[in-house]
Structure 1
Amino acid sequence: MLSIIQLDSTQRITLALKLSSMLFLFSSALSANSYPTRANIFIYAGCSQEKYQPSSPFEANLNSFLSSVVSSSSQVIYNSFAVGNDSSESSEGAVFGLYQCRGDLRPIDCSKCVGRLVNQIGLVCPYTTGASLQLDGCYLRYEHYGDFLGKLDTGLRYRKCSKAMASDADFFRRRDDVLADLQSANGFRVSSSGLVQGYAQCLGDLTVSDCSSCISDAVGKLKSLCGSAASADVFLGQCYARYWVSGYYDESGSSHNDQIGKPVAIIVGVFVGLAVLVILLSICKKSMG
């Protein structure tokens, strides 16, 4: 049975302040727990033709690699691994690989993105001795041989060009300013000029000079392949560059599962807000009469 608690005016005010604080904390928690859903968007994948046998040494080393990737991603946005190459007996099952998150992701979001990569790469490339998977916010690659690590690769993996802009001299000037600035990237770089924004990133295993060469190549391809597009993405083997007009990217491309949480959070927030409002009005009414 519920008991009725009688409060004096000071206690009522204190309770009202606490309830307001609870609502603020709840709203903050919703924001803090929100995940940049664009990070999950699939960009491209590549699978080798060679397969490995289930329960083989390669599979065991691959599972060890993927486990290490998950553990590491909560601490650093890039890491590379070599598993099973410490003796001639195990070289047949050796696995070399790396992962990298976009430079602006928080560690917790990097870990979530990489977790998706690990869960999906075996479905996209089942039983292959080499695979790569690029999501919007993170990248994963493994191979049977490690000769790709640290080696400059500017081969085109993916490009996307939006519809062309009308002849807008200001847009092209600002786009070129952004792209020129991105070419000075050493790792991850964000740039903007007016309404044009962009960013570029190299894999963490590239030297400064190789990173510069890779992004210069990516920028050149953006211009040659996408021309006057309002937005464009170019992903090469070890780097990528992107630009867009502010407001072009929204959450419409996010997966259905990611969108489910938004209305749920809004509905819960509304009910909590209404409950607090009713209590506050009741307290005010009692205080006034």
Structure 2
Amino acid sequence: MLRNLQSHSINRIILALRLSFLLFLFSSMLSIHGSPTRAHIFIYAGCSQEKFQPGSPFEGNLNSFFSSVVSSSSQVTYNSFAIGNGSSSPDGTIFGLYQCRGDLQPRECSQCVESSVNQIGLVCPYAYGASLQLEGCHLRYEHNDFLGKPDLGLRFRKCSRAVNNDVEFFRRRDDVLSDLQAANGFRVSNSGLVEGYAQCLGDLSAADCSSCLADAVGKLKNLCGSAAAAHVFLGQCYARYWESGYYDEPADSSNNDEAGKTVAIIAGVLGGLAVLVVLLSMCRKSAGK
């Protein structure tokens, strides 16, 4: 009888370890591969130092903002919001926006934005202001009104390995960047083996978009020099180019998919706790017998 109980306990331990391994494998896959589609790849995030209190008017309005963003993204690729503005609780005021890359379909846009909403709370918990850039979409909210105000601040840049002594490549790259600089909204360009695309926020005028992209292109050349692939994100626009057949993620930055890592850590911790609970339960039962 004792031998049967011991055998049963061993089988339960093996089952628990297998479940733990599956959870670990799942978390590792999230950490390595990130989301299933490229549009969900993490680019950068920024968080305010000031935090709001759980249950505050700001948290309620923030949840309303997130709900509105997800709902709107299935209809349009860009929208901005002002929630609680002029209310009796000014501490709860939220200004925010989202934007999807111009070549995404509505369903892809909505999925990307929903992923941003799910991740921004992990990356910037209880932050009064935050921004999150994924490969296919951008999400930002602030306590103060930033909508429509000029913002050419550098948010993020990545540069790949350098291309040396390739006059043709640089000529093609400059052709692409010159074309992208004239974009109004979203534009894709290519010249020979060089491709690229650029985008401005949806509420920028043609002149403001051109000015923003001129600054982005200038930073691409100054900060990334002879890189074979590079991208620069400013406050209201971004520009990217790469050599066809090459497209590696630029290699000089340590910024990886931090949101994916966060989810992986959470999954790993939950898996460890689940195993611990099972083992403790078995130990108690064995001690009782």
Q: TM-score, normalised by structure 2?
A: 0.73
Is 1:85 the counterpart of 2:85? The answer is yes
Name the counterpart of 2:51.
Answer: 51
Determine if contact 2:229/2:248 at 8 Å carries over to the other structure. no
Determine the C-alpha separation between the residues in 2 that align with 1:231 and 1:36: 23
Determine if contact 2:112/2:136 at 8 Å carries over to the other structure. yes
Name the counterpart of 1:104.
Answer: 103
Determine the C-alpha separation between the residues in 2 that align with 1:64 and 1:152: 26
Name the counterpart of 2:264.
Answer: none
TM-aligned CA deviation for residue 208 of structure 1: 1.6
| CA deviation vs aligned residue, 1:23-56 (integer Å, no higher than 9, x gap) | xxxxxxxxxxxx9822111111000111111011
- Comparing 78-87 with 105-114, which one deviates more in the overlay? 78-87
TM-aligned CA deviation for residue 152 of structure 1: 1.4
Q: Secondary structure at the match of 1:204?
A: coil
Q: Secondary structure at the match of 1:223?
A: helix
| CA deviation vs aligned residue, 1:78-97 (integer Å, no higher than 9, x gap) | 0000111142x122201110
Determine the C-alpha separation between the residues in 2 that align with 1:229 and 1:131: 30
Q: Secondary structure at the match of 1:50?
A: coil
| CA deviation vs aligned residue, 1:44-83 (integer Å, no higher than 9, x gap) | 1000111111011100000000000000001110000011
| CA deviation vs aligned residue, 1:216-237 (integer Å, no higher than 9, x gap) | 0000000011111100111111
Letter paired with 1:116? S
Determine the C-alpha separation between the residues in 2 that align with 1:55 and 1:90: 13
Name the counterpart of 1:7.
Answer: none
Uncovered stretches (5+) of structure 1, i.e. residues with no partner: 1-34, 257-289
Q: What percentage of residue pairs aligned between the two structures are identical?
A: 76
| CA deviation vs aligned residue, 1:163-218 (integer Å, no higher than 9, x gap) | 01121111111000000000111011110001100000011122221111110000
Name the counterpart of 1:236.
Answer: 234
Name the counterpart of 2:215.
Answer: 217
| CA deviation vs aligned residue, 1:135-182 (integer Å, no higher than 9, x gap) | 111000000111x11111111111111001121111111000000000
Determine the C-alpha separation between the residues in 2 that align with 1:46 and 1:203: 18
Determine the C-alpha separation between the residues in 2 that align with 1:116 and 1:140: 10
Determine the C-alpha separation between the residues in 2 that align with 1:238 and 1:36: 27
Letter paired with 1:122? G
Q: Secondary structure at the match of 2:241?
A: strand
Determine if contact 2:200/2:238 at 8 Å carries over to the other structure. yes
Q: Secondary structure at the match of 2:82?
A: strand
Name the counterpart of 1:126.
Answer: 125
Q: Secondary structure at the match of 2:89?
A: helix
Letter paired with 1:54? P
| CA deviation vs aligned residue, 1:239-285 (integer Å, no higher than 9, x gap) | 1000000122369x9979xxxxxxxxxxxxxxxxxxxxxxxxxxxxx
- Comparing 37-46 with 176-185, which one deviates more in the overlay? 37-46
Name the counterpart of 1:175.
Answer: 173
- Runs of 4+ aligned residues of structure 1 deviating over 6 Å after TM superposition are 253-256
Q: CA RMSD in A?
A: 1.8
Aligned residues: 219
Letter paired with 1:128? A
Matches within 5 A, 1:1-289: 37-87=37-87, 89-146=88-145, 148-249=146-247
Determine the C-alpha separation between the residues in 2 that align with 1:232 and 1:143: 28
Letter paired with 1:136? E
Determine if contact 1:151/1:206 at 8 Å carries over to the other structure. no
